[in-house]
Amino acid sequence: MATTTHRFDASAENLLNLFTNSIYSNKDTAIRELISNSSDAIDKIRFESMTDPDKLSTGSEFRVDIIPDAAENILTITDTGIGMTEAELIKNLGTIAHTGTRAFLEANQQGCDINMIGQFGVGFYSVFLIADRVQVLSKNNDDDWHMWESAGDGTFSISPCEPYKEMQRGTAIIMYLKPGCEEYVKEKKLRDVIKKHSGFISYPTYLEVSKEREYEMTDDEDEGGEKEEDAGTKKKKK
């Protein structure tokens, strides 16, 4: 199947313009919203599996991974949640006018802080606070892998794609960071943001920090406690 190109609906495009041109200083909002969305996606597959255990035949581990690539200035966030079909990628990330989109734009014109975007259900778009190009690779049990891609220029594309690494279900959001947003591939910054914003979710959140060894960061880490796991990728877990 070939790549198809779509225009954002008017409300989504206006919201996109707000973020791509924003000078809003608290860009941590983007990470918070993506972690929250990942948690929601895992909640959905977990709920479905309660009545249909076969839903987890594509993986029963629930987790969120945050993978920085400092050399390429790319940040990736993955989850083993419900994933999206091709139609859902188009609907949820672009062409269908959401009441929340319009409501947030109206509230923003009246002085609402961008930080409140999650309350309107359209937090995904905050990704353009820190990225000038975004790819969303997703796999739902009812469809194959597809990729949504946009540079925040009013259009997005949908195309079939290869699985993201070893994932069998879920979503990977790949962010090509804007100049000036390099801090979001740095360990200390990411650890601080994750510790601040992942406390409200029920699933383990891992941060990849090197390619030598793997560690699990526990609640006791502030006292220096670290638990060594299998050799492989070095990660931190809240």
The DSSP code for 198 is: S
Please tell me the predicted confidence (pLDDT) of residue 230.
Answer: 36
Express as a percent the part of the chain with pLDDT over 90. Answer: 57
Rounded to whole angstroms, how far apart are CA atoms 227 and 152?
41
Confidence band of 158 (pLDDT split at 50, 70, 90): very high
Helix (H, G, I), strand (E, B) or coil at 237: strand
Strand-pair partners of 160: 146
**Token pair 């734009």: residue:** 105
Q: Which residues of 192-225 are buried (b: 16+ CB within 10 A; e: fewer)?
A: ebbbebbeebebebbbbbeeeebbbbeeebeeee
- pLDDT value for 17: 77
pLDDT > 60? residue 148: yes
Q: How far is CA 184 from the centre of its chain?
A: 13
pLDDT for position 214: 46
CATH of domain 4-52+73-181: 3.30.565.10
Residue 100: what pLDDT?
60
Between the alpha carbon of residue 65 and those of residues 77, 171, 180, the distances in Å are: 6, 11, 23
pLDDT score of 108: 58
pLDDT, tens digit, for every residue of 172-189?
Answer: 999 999 999 999 999 999
Distance of alpha carbon 61 from alpha carbon 95, whole angstroms? 32
Predicted confidence at residue 57, as pLDDT, reads: 94
pTM: predicted TM-score of the whole model, two decimal places: 0.83
Quick one: what percent of the chain has pLDDT higher than 70?
74
What tens digit of pLDDT does each residue of 94-145 get? 865 565 656 656 665 666 555 555 554 567 888 999 999 999 999 999 999 9
pLDDT for position 104: 53
Chain mean pLDDT for the chain: 82
Average pLDDT over residues 78-84: 97
